[in-house]
Amino acid sequence: MRQVPPAGAGRADDPAVAAGGAIAVRPGGGAAGVRPGRGHRCRRRRRGRQDARHGQGRRELGRAQPHPYPAAARTGPHAPGGGAGGQEEGALRAWVLISAVALIAGAARAQTRPDTKVLTCTTAGCHAAEIGHTFLHGPTAVSACDTCHEYHDAAAHTFRLKRPGKQLCEFCHIDKTGREGPFVHDPVAKGECTACHDPHGSETRLLLKKATTRQMCLECHQEAMGGTHRHKPVDEDCLQCHKAHTAPHAKLLTMERRALCLSCHETLGQAIAASSHPHEPAEGDCLQCHRPHAAEHPGVLSQPPKDLCLSCHEEVGTAMSSASHPHSATSDSRACLNCHAAHQSHHVKQLLPDPVKACLECHAKPVQAGGGRVVAAVAEVTDPLAHKHGPINDGDCAACHDVHGGGRGGLLAAPFEQDFYRQYDPTSYALCFTCHDRALVTAQPVAAETAFRDGDRNLHAVHVAKSPQGRSCRACHTTHASRHDKLIADSVQFGQWRLPINFVKTERGGSCGPGCHKPAQYDRGPTPDPPRPAVPRRPG
């Protein structure tokens, strides 16, 4: 138990002490009327206990207090020099009295504990919705509204922004103010950050006003969705190709246009680089042919394939539009893409396979043509044992055919007599004479001009240059390939029949026994054939 200080040790500023009313203390430490050594004295204590039921605050009982009555008025054990006989009971009553006075005074001073919750713009009930988002702007999250706002009009309860326009956002967001390039998004340039972002909070990490970047962009750029065929990034995220605020390239692109396309279409870029016949636009700007976002045509093409090709290849378009015999491959939905690669090829004119195989993609079997016609298959061209016509060996079907359409049957590039009998006219064989010297038909006597001679008699002239009924080339020859040398046919169509030719080759000539005459043979003689002069080929 704490020792009671000796008599007269009360505080000098204590009124009771000054009035001589301090509680008496015996020499030796005991209070008058209290057993020595017990250290008894009257006290008022403060209690730090809150009564929740009655809402009372803390009540405190403190240090030794002065007696409530002057010394002259005191009697009993607490009177100065009071005896020990009835002092125990008097001390108890005095203690109760002093405690009651102290409790009454403490109750008068008791206060309710203050509510420590601080009211802010968002907790006072006015702007509570601003903190209801999944993602909050930093100042909103810590109720630091005065980061951006300042009190303006108490009566109107208005708060103006601390800085004008975009300066407010740029004060903190210095990384989005043109550091990435010279091309600036229009809302950024105008300081309209809140056109895309909510300044307080959002359901997206970037505080966008819409759920996704794509939805946000389409608020202004709805025209980018105009088309039934959409570029995949358009359905995913515009930021795959564009920057949101500023960029080093026009249209806010993250890279130069072609490089951006090839950053995804990497395999195509490698094929173009390795190609021996790249398409010129494929080495330049992809947007010459494609739309970047959406289009009405497959491949996000800006026009139908045929129209797109003919916008550059005008001369081909003219031939196609004026052709009385169109090539069906050029008129379906794929048109040019049936034969040509759009970006690159290892074959001339960007053909898909080599030229002959390109044609045989269709013509290895009969093809239904316009007007109910059936174009016969040229499957013999693929026969490895066949003797092939020179243009076929060269892979140049276009040497004889207008592959895009023309004015003659069979898409022939020049006149070629189709009938069995024909009075000779050089123009009727213009197609053959683009490669072959016409002297092989007309020269008489003949030497090097033709191997079809009996001695020096030109048997071509006997058959072809004859009036009124010369035989056409097709009376004896095929046009693409044959099992026999010099493209000699196995048989020839004559009206409703096919006449056998029965050609047999010998060392210095041969023989035939067709249905048009009795069997005959020819012999060039012992003199070997001199070398034949080269005849320039018609440009393909």
Q: Is the pLDDT of residue 53 over 70?
A: no
Q: Is residue 337 part of a domain?
A: yes
Q: Is residue 155 part of a domain?
A: no
Sign for the pseudo-dihedral over CA of 3, 5, 11, 16 = positive
Q: Where is pLDDT greater, at 163 or 469?
A: 163
What's the mean pLDDT in 41-59? 37
Sign for the pseudo-dihedral over CA of 155, 158, 164, 168 = positive
Q: Is the pLDDT of residue 228 over 70?
A: yes
pLDDT value of residue 97: 62
What's the mean pLDDT in 29-33? 39
Q: Is residue 126 part of a domain?
A: no
Residues 71 and 164 in one domain: no
What's the mean pLDDT in 530-538? 51
pLDDT value of residue 418: 86
Q: Which of 5-9, 193-197, 437-441, 520-524 has the lowest mean pLDDT?
A: 5-9
What's the mean pLDDT in 314-333? 89
Please report the DSSP string for 407-464 in residue order: SSGGGBSS----SSB----GGGGHHHHTTS-THHHH-SS-SSS-S-EETTEEHHHHHT
Range among 33-42, 153-162, 368-377, 402-411 rated most confident: 402-411
pLDDT value of residue 255: 95
Q: Is the pLDDT of residue 532 over 90?
A: no
Q: Is the pLDDT of residue 530 over 70?
A: no
Residues 352 and 435 in one domain: no
pLDDT value of residue 120: 82
CA distance 254 to 239: 9
Given a contact cutoff of 8 angstroms between Cβ atoms, the answer to whether 329 and 338 are in contact is yes
From 348, 380, 411, give the residue that closes a domain: 411
Residues 171 and 277 in one domain: yes
Alpha carbon separation from 371 to 67, 374, 405 (Å, rounded): 134, 9, 15
pLDDT value of residue 116: 55
Question: Which residue reads 């390039």 in tokens?
Answer: 181
Q: Which domain holds residue 54?
A: 15-107
Q: Where is pLDDT greater, at 170 or 48?
A: 170
What's the mean pLDDT in 348-366? 87
Q: Which of 24-33, 246-255, 266-275 has the lowest mean pLDDT?
A: 24-33
Angle at 491 between CA 399 and CA 411, to 5 degrees: 25
From 261, 291, 321, give the residue that closes a domain: 291
Q: Specify the number of domains making up the chain.
A: 4
Q: Tens digit of pLDDT for each residue in 426-483?
A: 898 999 999 999 888 888 888 777 889 999 999 999 999 887 788 899 889 988 889 8
Neighbouring residues of 16: CB distance < 8 A, sequence distance ≥ 6: 10, 22, 65, 66, 67
- CA dihedral angle for residue 377, residue 380, residue 384, residue 390, rounded to 10 degrees: -100
Q: 209-233: buried (b, 16+ CB within 10 Å) or exposed (e) per residue?
A: ebeebbebbbeeeeebeebeebbeb
Identify residue 430 by its one-letter amino acid code: A
Residues 103 and 188 in one domain: no
Question: Which residue reads 């076929």 in tokens?
Answer: 392
Q: Tens digit of pLDDT for each residue in 125-137?
A: 788 888 999 999 9
CA distance 246 to 189: 9
CA distance 199 to 205: 12
Q: Is the pLDDT of residue 47 over 90?
A: no
The percent of residues in the chain predicted with pLDDT above 70, rounded, is 75
Q: Is the pLDDT of residue 534 over 80?
A: no
Q: Which of 24-38, 59-73, 256-270, 382-396 has the lowest mean pLDDT?
A: 24-38
How many other β-carbons are positioned within 10 Å of the β-carbon of residue 540? 15
Q: Is the pLDDT of residue 198 over 80?
A: yes
CA distance 540 to 534: 17
CA distance 6 to 29: 6
pLDDT band at 367, cuts 50/70/90? confident
Q: Is the pLDDT of residue 515 over 80?
A: no
Phi, psi of 390, deg, nearest 5? -50, -50
Q: Is the pLDDT of residue 526 over 80?
A: no
Q: Is the pLDDT of residue 174 over 90?
A: no
Residues 456 and 483 in one domain: yes
Q: Where is pLDDT greater, at 55 or 300?
A: 300
Residues 170 and 273 in one domain: yes
Residues 391 and 449 in one domain: no
Note the helical H segments in 19-173.
Answer: 87-109, 138-141, 166-170
Q: Is residue 252 part of a domain?
A: yes
Q: Where is pLDDT greater, at 513 or 342?
A: 342
Question: Which residue reads 């079809």 in tokens?
Answer: 452
Residues 180 and 273 in one domain: yes
Q: Tens digit of pLDDT for each residue in 55-85?
A: 333 333 334 445 444 544 444 444 454 454 4
pLDDT value of residue 529: 54
pLDDT value of residue 117: 64
Residues 320 and 386 in one domain: yes
pLDDT value of residue 44: 37
Helix (H, G, I), strand (E, B) or coil at 529: coil
CA distance 394 to 380: 16
Residues 284 and 164 in one domain: yes
CA distance 472 to 397: 21
- CA dihedral angle for residue 110, residue 112, residue 114, residue 119, rounded to 10 degrees: -150
**Averaged confidence pLDDT in the chain:** 78
Q: Which of 21-25, 68-72, 404-408 has the lowest mean pLDDT?
A: 21-25
Q: Which of 138-142, 215-219, 220-224, 364-368 has the lowest mean pLDDT?
A: 364-368
- Residue 433: closest CA among 475, 466, 400, 474: 400
Identify residue 381 by its one-letter amino acid code: V
Residues 287 and 309 in one domain: no
CA distance 362 to 251: 44
Q: Is residue 537 part of a domain?
A: no
Q: Is the pLDDT of residue 401 over 90?
A: yes
pLDDT value of residue 378: 84
CA distance 63 to 66: 10
- Residue 519: closest CA among 507, 508, 503, 505: 503
Q: Is residue 188 part of a domain?
A: yes
What's the mean pLDDT in 99-111? 50
CA distance 152 to 161: 9
What's the mean pLDDT in 247-252? 94
From 76, 91, 107, give the residue that closes a domain: 107
Q: Is residue 25 part of a domain?
A: yes
Q: Is the pLDDT of residue 354 over 50?
A: yes
pLDDT value of residue 100: 52
What letter would DSSP give residue 398? G
Q: Is residue 148 part of a domain?
A: no
What's the mean pLDDT in 279-293? 95
Q: 292-302: buried (b, 16+ CB within 10 Å) or exposed (e) per residue?
A: bbbbebeebbb
Residues 338 and 275 in one domain: no
